[in-house]
């Protein structure tokens, strides 16, 4: 199991700024977005959104708001599902 060093993750200030920008950009397509205890951004997608199209849209536009050298994982959950799509930004573990 790879444990990320604290400096590899977003700082508290960066996390607040990023989630604000994420919700400003993609909030109309989400029900809830918040960080879990490990720092991963958990996003539950609105049931009326086309999940596949939204994942593609986020992938195409995420780097307009993510300009950090730290890493971040985003877990996108379609409405009513326990499976998710994981996006890794600046991943250090190669997964």
- List the structure tokens of 27: 């909030």
pLDDT value of position 2: 39
Q: In the chain, where are the structural domains located?
A: 9-89
Q: Which residues of the chain have pLDDT under 50?
A: 1-6, 95
pLDDT value of position 92: 66
- How many DSSP H helices and E strands does the chain contain? 2, 4
pLDDT value of position 89: 84
d(CA 81, CA 12): 29
pLDDT value of position 8: 55
pLDDT value of position 59: 92
């Amino acid at each position: 199991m790879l444990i990320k060093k604290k400096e590899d993750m977003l700082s508290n200030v960066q996390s607040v700024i990023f989630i604000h920008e994420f919700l400003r950009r993609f909030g109309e397509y989400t029900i809830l977005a918040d960080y879990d205890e490990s720092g991963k951004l958990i996003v539950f997608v609105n049931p009326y959104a086309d999940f596949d199209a939204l994942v593609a849209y986020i992938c195409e536009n995420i780097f307009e708001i993510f300009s950090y050298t730290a890493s971040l994982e985003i877990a996108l959950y379609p409405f009513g599902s326990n499976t998710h799509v994981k996006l890794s930004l600046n991943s250090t573990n190669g997964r």
